[in-house]
Amino acid sequence: MRRIVVDTDTGIDDAHTLLYLAGRPDAEIVTVTSVYGNCTEEDAIRNIGHVTRLLGLEVPIARGAAEPLRGPAHIAGYVHGKDGLGDLGHDRSLPRVADEPAPELLVRLANEHPGELDLLALGPLTNLALALRQDPELFTKYRSVVLMGGSGPYAPPGTLLMIDANINNDPEAARAVFAAPRRELVMVGVNVTARTILDEHAIAALKASGTPVARFATEILDAYLDFYQNEWGRRIIPLHDPLAAGVLLDPSFATAWTDGPVNVRGDGFLYRARLMRTHDGLPPAFPYEPAPPTRVITAVDALRFVADFVEVLAR
């Protein structure tokens, strides 16, 4: 059983992740904290409330960062809809929230339950960086920290990668996270999530199941499908955040990984978190900052994970 603290910028795939975690018998959602990203923090907290009410899940909910450590927030309303859940007009009333903000809650839970909880970060890493300012040893007190973000090692020449949005939204916070001491830090990046596809057949299977959870999961997909059809010419989506949850619960979904230092680097346009290795395992051709080892996932059993995801939500 994994007892999980979820930090989320609750867009469509974040909502799917909460549904997936709630349906897994080996997972317990301990608390959920909000952060900006896929939508504003205000919408993220409302979406947490909406999804937890749908699930009948009563857990502490805490408000987190509304903007990055530096600069304005970049909100991906063009991907997830302005409200983060596809602009379908759901009644997303504010949930009851904890008195303490998300960073303080992350610190308190880690100190009250050392080695017992897993931290799953699905959005920009601002809340985690703010929590590290309060307790620099924070990650040593979580059983593991698993984040959806990063771009893996440097790709083969000529390879293009999907935007590394959670890192790009707050590169300063990401640098603090990858530099912090930890028990186990796992990076599930766009190098693997972009290839883990919920295709037409899987979407049809979800719709056919008719359960309230599956019905909600497919209802909110349209905005996401509208965006990704421009990427692939098909109405299919990558399971970014759900895959990170799957790797946390069942590490065998990852079929290859490398442990090594991760740096956050910009190219003048975008920031990415990269394992400081080329695709063939060599160091990059420039100096880089030393950092404690991060487990960087480089390959996954995408078919098996997608089948599990569909089965859990349809059940």
Choice among 80, 90, 240, 279 that is catalytic:
240
| Residue 156, number of CB atoms within 10 A of its CB | 9
SS3 of residue 99 by DSSP: coil
Say which amino acid occupies 164: D
Distance CA 211, CA 213 (A): 5
Q: What radius of gyration do the chain's Cα atoms show?
A: 18
Which among 22, 26, 28, 31 has a CA at the least distance from the CA of 3? Answer: 28
Distance CA 17, CA 29 (A): 11
Which among 247, 59, 248, 243 has a CA at the least distance from the CA of 144? Answer: 248
Per the annotation, the verdict on 240 as an active-site residue is yes
Distance CA 136, CA 66 (A): 22
- Enumerate the H helices of the chain as residue ranges: 12-23, 41-55, 77-80, 102-112, 126-134, 165-168, 171-179, 190-193, 200-209, 212-219, 221-232, 240-249, 302-314
**Whether 307 contacts 288, CB under 8 Å:** no
Active site residues: 240
